[in-house]
């Protein structure tokens, strides 16, 4: 246990240093700039007219450290590194945590002012607490209810960071009920209403910030903002944008795809926990049909669960080094190649003046003069 705690701390410290050194300096571009402006120049715990008012806890956390635009960006670096440590706690595999931390989307979103890595950290720790609690209840070990209660609290807090928390909630609820109905010996036990009640109360306590905002600002605004049609998959689809976002996603999934290929003869290694499979599936289905220009950002939970499913996959030292190099080098060459292609009019109008190759591979050199 002491070794695991030490390794998780070292992973956090190492990746926080990496992300902080490569984080964007000064004002960002697009959504990042709006987050920075709202945190620094407004008093409300919401995110401005361009967003759903669903990130009050993220804004509050940013304001704890906000002394300038770069400090808001470093909040992403902090929680991105915390997510790497959280993945290690879920898998007990340092190699997997390193590869996840080096993946293109995890690294990049840890270098710009965005809410995604804060949500990812919540996802990582609620998943760890959730898995630990289920195992303790299943085996009759102590503190199972305590772990599930804290997982519910984190899940509720997560909802005040990002609405992603709603996707996992039904699966958590079904898993918790099943944990109290079935025993490891195949028998049944009476559902503990007190235990389930405690878990529910902890969730409502964590979600109280989000519930208050939903009550005062309107549930529709907090849930959807101006993106209701996109959330429900009713918005028109731009094949150019969808293709570009799938391209970015492929860069982050290169390592999981390679691991699946190497172990294709034993696919059972990737299905060690039915609840993780369910969490991956629901997040993937939401992501793949949520057509927005920055759709690729929303793959982080799916990527996280994909790595958790790799828990029992063996990675030799040579393969680990090769995969780590792929994670670092592949985006550079891929974006360099894409930058040579003609930019479609619809994308040029959406991202006027932005060099995607520079923006996605070296964010710390992003010109502050880019249009916002």
How far from the centroid of its chain's Cα atoms is residue 340's Cα?
31
Handedness of CA 347, 352, 353, 357 (dihedral sign): negative
Residues 12-23: what's their mean pLDDT? Answer: 96
Longest dimension (CA), the chain: 66
Residues 287-315: what's their mean pLDDT? Answer: 87
DSSP secondary structure string for all residues of 36-89? HHHHHH--SSS--TTS-S--HHHHHHHHHH-SSHHHHHHHHHHHHHHHHHHHHH
Q: How confident is the model at residue 372 (pLDDT cuts 50, 70, 90)?
A: very low
Report how far residue 282's alpha carbon sits from residue 234's, in angstroms, rounded to the nearest whole number: 18
pLDDT of residue 342: 64
Q: Mean pLDDT check: name the lowest of 100-104, 280-284, 337-341.
A: 337-341
Q: Mean pLDDT check: name the lowest of 41-55, 121-135, 320-334.
A: 41-55
Closest among 327, 318, 362 to 102, alpha carbons compared: 327
Closest among 114, 106, 111 to 366, alpha carbons compared: 111
Give yes or no for a contact between 295 and 324, defined as CB atoms under 8 angstroms apart.
no
Q: How confident is the model at residue 362 (pLDDT cuts 50, 70, 90)?
A: confident
What would the two tokens of residue 300 be? 């982080």
Closest among 66, 2, 9 to 40, alpha carbons compared: 66
Residues 220-240: what's their mean pLDDT? Answer: 68
Closest among 256, 306, 258 to 281, alpha carbons compared: 306
Closest among 88, 89, 90 to 98, alpha carbons compared: 88
Give yes or no for a contact between 293 and 228, defined as CB atoms under 8 angstroms apart.
no
Closest among 137, 135, 30, 155 to 90, alpha carbons compared: 135
- Tens digit of pLDDT for each residue in 49-92? 455 567 889 988 998 888 888 999 999 999 999 999 999 999 99
Handedness of CA 159, 164, 170, 174 (dihedral sign): negative
Give the residue, 311 or 213, on which the prediction is more confident: 311
Q: Mean pLDDT check: name the lowest of 128-142, 264-278, 338-352.
A: 338-352
pLDDT of residue 284: 92
Q: How confident is the model at residue 40 (pLDDT cuts 50, 70, 90)?
A: confident
Give the residue, 150 or 26, on which the prediction is more confident: 150
What is the model's pTM? Answer: 0.90
Report how far residue 313's alpha carbon sits from residue 36's, in angstroms, rounded to the nearest whole number: 40
- Tens digit of pLDDT for each residue in 162-191? 988 999 999 998 988 887 765 545 554 555
Residues 43-52: what's their mean pLDDT? Answer: 56
What would the two tokens of residue 349 be? 């109008």
Q: Which residue has the tokens 């878990």?
A: 199
Report how far residue 13's alpha carbon sits from residue 213's, in angstroms, rounded to the nearest whole number: 34
3-state SS assignment for residue 142: coil
Is the pLDDT confidence value at 321 over 90?
yes
**Across the chain, what does the average pLDDT equal?**
83
Residues 336-351: what's their mean pLDDT? Answer: 62
Report how far residue 287's alpha carbon sits from residue 296's, in angstroms, rounded to the nearest whole number: 8
Bridge partners of 182?
Answer: 188
């Amino acid at each position: 246990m002491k070794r695991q705690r030490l390794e998780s701390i070292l992973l956090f410290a190492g990746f926080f240093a990496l992300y902080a050194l490569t984080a964007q300096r000064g004002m960002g571009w697009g959504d990042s700039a709006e987050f920075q402006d709202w945190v620094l120049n407004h008093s409300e715990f919401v995110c401005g007219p361009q967003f759903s008012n669903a990130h009050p806890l993220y804004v509050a956390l940013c304001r704890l450290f906000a002394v300038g635009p770069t400090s808001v960006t470093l909040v992403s670096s902090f929680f991105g590194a915390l997510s790497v440590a959280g993945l290690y706690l879920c898998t007990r595999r340092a190699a997997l945590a390193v590869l996840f931390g080096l993946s293109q989307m995890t690294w990049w979103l840890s270098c710009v002012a965005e809410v995604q890595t804060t949500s990812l950290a919540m996802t990582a720790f609620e998943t760890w607490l959730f898995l630990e609690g289920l195992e303790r209840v299943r085996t009759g070990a102590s503190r199972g209810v305590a772990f599930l209660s804290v997982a519910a609290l984190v899940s509720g807090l997560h909802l005040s960071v990002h609405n992603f928390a709603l996707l996992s909630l039904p699966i958590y609820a079904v898993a918790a009920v099943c944990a109290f109905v079935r025993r490891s010996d195949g028998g049944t036990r009476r559902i503990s209403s007190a235990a389930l009640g405690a878990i529910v109360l902890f969730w409502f306590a964590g979600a109280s910030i989000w519930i208050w905002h939903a009550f005062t600002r309107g549930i529709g605004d907090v849930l959807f903002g101006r993106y209701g049609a996109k959330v429900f998959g009713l918005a028109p689809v731009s094949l150019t944008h969808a293709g570009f976002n799938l391209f970015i996603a492929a860069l982050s999934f290169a390592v999981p795809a390679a691991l699946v290929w190497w172990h294709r003869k034993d696919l059972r290694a990737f299905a060690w926990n039915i609840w993780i499979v369910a969490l991956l599936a629901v997040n993937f289905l939401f992501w793949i049909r949520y057509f927005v220009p920055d759709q690729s950002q929303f793959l982080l939970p799916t990527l996280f669960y994909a790595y958790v499913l790799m828990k029992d996959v063996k990675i030799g030292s040579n393969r680990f080094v090769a995969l780590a190099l792929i994670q670092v080098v592949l985006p550079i060459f891929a974006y360099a190649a894409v930058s040579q292609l003609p930019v479609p009019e619809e994308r040029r109008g959406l991202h006027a003046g932005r060099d995607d190759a520079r923006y996605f591979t070296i964010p710390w050199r992003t010109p502050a003069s880019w249009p916002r």
